[in-house]
A and B are shown apart, each in its own frame.
Chain A
C-alpha cells in the first residue's frame, strides 16, 4: 500500500487520504511504514485570519516552488459545522491555476470538530504526502483568530499571514497566533499602510522575549495577487528549514506531537472503557469533578 504512493498516480494517495480522514481502522497498522517511507519533506503551516489571503498566497507560493522544480503537496483545512458536520471547502477556488499540474497535489480537509485550526488527522495526511514524494507539504489552516495554534505542532515552519488593517501595536504583543510565527507575511501589500504595519510588527516583536533562544520572526510584505514579495517569502521559508531542524527545535516539536497523541489515545481508551457512561453521569450529576473522573477512567 505505502510503496504504491511513491510510484503510483494520484488515485492511491487520494484514497488513502480518505481513509486517514475517516479514521479508518486500516490506517493504524500502516503508520510506522508511512513514517519510514517519509522522505523528510519540509512541512509548512500557513495560518492567519479569514480573508487575509492565505489561499491566494499559497497559490502564488505553489507557482514559485514549481519554478524551482519542487513537487508541492497542499492540505487546505476549512471549518466543519458544529451543528450539521457539513462544510464548505473553498480553498481550491484560489488554487485552480495548478489544477492540471501533475506535480501538485491539493486536498481539502474539513476540520471535523477540531478547534485548533486543523483536523485531528491532518498530521497523518501530511505524512502521506511526504511518503508520496511531495516536498514541501503546505498545511493551510482554517481562518484563525488569536489562539488556533495547533498547526505549529505539525509544521516545521509556521507562516502567519496578516493584513495591513490588523490593528495597533498591542495586537502585535498579544500571546497566541503571532507568537507561533516563524515568519510573518503582511499580505495585501498594495493596500495603504502595509509597510507601516510591517514596521510596527517588527518593532514590537523585536522587544519581545518569547520562547528561549528564538530570534524575532522576519516580517515580510507580500501581494499574493500580483506575486510581489512571494519569491522572497519562499526564500525565507526555505531558509528557515535548517533552523527548524536544529536538535532543540526538532525535540520541542516531537514532544508536543507525542503529548497530543497521548491525550488523544487516553481519551479514546477512556471512552471505550466499560465505566465511561457511569463516570460521565456522575460528573453530570455533580457527584464527581471532571479531573477526578478522568483519573478514575485512566486508572481503571
Chain B
C-alpha cells in the first residue's frame, strides 16, 4: 500500500456519556491534518465500534470517553477488534482517564491515551508515526 493514501480513523464514543464536543473537535482537526475520519456518533457499544471498524478497515480506532467507564469499555473494544482479526489496528483513547488506569489500559492493548490539553498536531503526529500498514 502506498504511504501517500490518507490514514483512515474511526472516532467513536463508547458508552453512555453524551459529551461529544471533544470528539467533534478532534474529527475536524484530523480532517484538516489530511485524515479520513469516520465519525460514528454517540452511545456506541464495543460491538458496534468493532463491527464498524472492521467494515471500514480503518488504521486507527480513536475512543473518546469521559464517563469513567473506560476500564470496562476500552479493554472490551480492543478484545473484539482482535477477535475480528484486526491485529494491527491502532487503538487510542482520549478523555479523562486517571494515570493508574492508563498503565492498565496500555497493558491490554490501548496504544496511547491523550489527556486534556493534548494538541491535535501531537495526536496527528503520533498516528502518522505509529500506524502499521499491511
Cα-based distance from A81 to B33 in the complex (angstroms): 10
Interface set, chain A 91-129, CB cutoff 8 A to B? 92-93, 96, 99-100, 105-108, 110
- A11 touching B33 by the CB < 8 A rule? no
B71-95 near A? 1/0 per residue, CB < 8 Å: 0000000000000111000000000
Q: Which residues of A contact B (CB under 8 A)?
A: 9-11, 14-15, 17-19, 21-22, 24, 80-81, 84-90, 92-93, 96, 99-100, 105-108, 110
Cα-based distance from A22 to B39 in the complex (angstroms): 20
- Which B residues touch A92, using CB under 8 A? 38-41, 52, 56
- B47 touching A110 by the CB < 8 A rule? no
Q: Which of A18, A22, A85 contacts B34 (CB 8 A)?
A: A85
Closest to A105 in B: B55
- B6 touching A110 by the CB < 8 A rule? yes
Cα-based distance from A100 to B1 in the complex (angstroms): 29
Given pairs A92-B38, A100-B48, 12 additional interface contacts (CB within 8 A): A14-B55, A24-B1, A81-B32, A81-B34, A86-B33, A88-B28, A88-B31, A96-B52, A99-B51, A99-B52, A105-B55, A107-B56
- Which B residues touch A93, using CB under 8 A? 39-41
Q: Which of B39, B51, B55 contacts A88 (CB 8 A)?
A: B39
Closest to B40 in A: A92
Chain B binding site: helix, strand, loop or mixed by DSSP?
mixed
Given contacts A85-B6, A87-B31, A92-B52, whether A18 and B36 have CB atoms under 8 Å apart is: no
- A10 touching B55 by the CB < 8 A rule? yes
- Which A residues touch B84, using CB under 8 A? 9-11
Most buried by A among B28, B38, B86: B38
Q: How large is the interface on B (under 10, 10 to 19, 20 to 34, 35 or more residues)?
A: 20 to 34
Q: Which of A10, A21, A84 contacts B54 (CB 8 A)?
A: A10
Cα-based distance from A295 to B84 in the complex (angstroms): 51
- A86 touching B44 by the CB < 8 A rule? no
Q: Which of B6, B28, B44 contacts A96 (CB 8 A)?
A: B44
- Which A residues touch B35, using CB under 8 A? 86
Given contacts A19-B1, A22-B5, A96-B44, whether A87 and B36 have CB atoms under 8 Å apart is: yes
- A22 touching B1 by the CB < 8 A rule? yes
- A96 touching B41 by the CB < 8 A rule? yes
- A84 touching B2 by the CB < 8 A rule? no
- A86 touching B40 by the CB < 8 A rule? no
- B34 touching A86 by the CB < 8 A rule? yes
Question: Closest 5 A-B residue pairs measured CB to CB?
Answer: A86-B31, A93-B41, A14-B57, A99-B48, A84-B34
- Which A residues touch B2, using CB under 8 A? 22, 24
B1-30 near A? 1/0 per residue, CB < 8 Å: 110011010000000000000000001101
Cα-based distance from A17 to B55 in the complex (angstroms): 9
- B6 touching A86 by the CB < 8 A rule? yes
Closest to B37 in A: A88
Q: How far is the CB of A89 from chain B (nearest CB, A)?
A: 5
Q: How far is the CB of A62 from chain B (nearest CB, A)?
A: 13
Q: How far is the CB of B3 from chain A (nearest CB, A)?
A: 10
